Structure 1
Amino acid sequence: MSNWFNDKEHPDNASKRNLLREVFKVAKAEESYRNGELGK
Structure 2
Amino acid sequence: EDLSLIRKGFIEMAVSDRYSRDVGKAKDLMKRMLRRVK
TM-score normalised by length of structure 1: 0.56
Gaps of 5+ in 2: none
For the aligned residue pairs, the C-alpha RMSD in angstroms reads 2.0
Gaps of 5+ in 1: 1-7
Higher Cα radius of gyration? 2
RCO (CA 8 Å, sep 6+): is it higher in 1 or 2? 1
> Between the two proteins, what is the percent identity of the paired residues?
7
More helix by share: 2
TM-score normalised by length of structure 2: 0.58
